[in-house]
Amino acid sequence: MKLSTYAKQLGISYKTAWRRWKEGKLDAYQLDTGTVIIRDTKKRNNKVCIYTRVSSAENKDNLNSQAERLTQYCIAKGYKISKIIKEVGSGVNDNRKQLTKLLNDDDWGIIVVEHKDRLTRFGFNYLDILLGKAGKTIEVVNEADNGKDDLLQDFVSIITSFCARLYGLRRSKRKTEQLIKELQNDTYRQDK
């Protein structure tokens, strides 16, 4: 099938499909006329999985809002939704159970996320390449307009991650100090 037809079926722009072909993510070839032909489209799984994530339990309302917006988006695109994954966890954490389970599952062909950082804070392009090799795609609904937005988001993510670790260490130190103090008080009481 033509690249333009393929793009329409997936609900992506022609430019995005062209970029994927140029990056070698599509099984395709180019005719002498310049037309790009996609091979093997029948093997592609067009079931969609919606993935939503928030960083903390305080934002659980946002989790449901994300899922609702993405569901409406997929319905408007005519996608067949196979599952909706909702997860609470840091985007820097590489051991999220729901995401790991999703990546090991073969029951979907397209994963839809609201923003890149909902899937992962770092390494998004690596995931995109690996999933492309498996015949799967990631569709980001709200892409950043320019590289500055992505760079700024990465910077904020790094600072947030370091702050969380720092505060975690401080909290751990305070708990340890409190525990030692309580143990000393118990020892003092027992001596009397």
- For the chain, domain boundaries: 1-42, 45-143, 148-192
Residue type, 52: T
Can you tell me whether residue 36 is helix, strand or coil?
Answer: strand
To the nearest 10°, the Cα dihedral for 46, 25, 148, 13? -50
pLDDT in tens, 33-72: 888 888 765 455 678 999 999 888 888 888 999 999 999 9
CB distance 121 to 92 below 8 Å: yes
- End-to-end alpha carbon distance in the chain: 88
Q: pLDDT value at position 178? A: 83
pLDDT in tens, 66-120: 999 999 999 988 889 999 999 998 877 778 899 999 998 888 999 999 988 888 8
Question: Predicted confidence band at 149 (pLDDT cuts at 50, 70, 90)?
Answer: low
**Conformation bin of residue 24: beta by default, left when phi > 0, alpha when psi is -120 to 50:** left
Q: Which residues pair with 50 in a beta bridge?
A: 84, 112
106, 103, 99: which is closest to 47 by C-alpha? Answer: 106
pLDDT in tens, 89-101: 887 777 889 999 9
The second-level CATH assignment, the architecture, of 45-143 is 3-Layer(aba) Sandwich (3.40)
